[in-house]
Amino acid sequence: MAKVPSAVVAAGGIVGGYGVARWTRKRQLGGVVLVAAGAVAARQWRERAGGKAAGALTAAYVAAFAGSHPLAKKVGAWPAVFGVAGAVALASWAVADRNG
């Protein structure tokens, strides 16, 4: 079975979490998706790049989620979500996926 890159898991968690929250109108369900994907990504980051890198990438994941809210007021919800998801995916790829 092919491994899904952590960059895809992390970006998918942000986009999927927002999508689920928006389409179901239940923010808690979106939060479940966000947290579940973040946990999977954090485990992958730890396995591939070590604890310090995993901590930094997890902090970036949480910061991206938090930062998408004020960014959405300036550029719109979906552009903000895709922007922060792309930033997290790029950081994840550079730190944990590039050499794997």
Average pLDDT per 10 consecutive residues for the chain, totaling 100 residues: 86 98 97 98 96 97 96 97 98 91
pTM over the 0.85 mark: yes
**72 in helix, strand or coil?**
helix
- Decide if 88 contacts 60 (C-beta within 8 A): yes
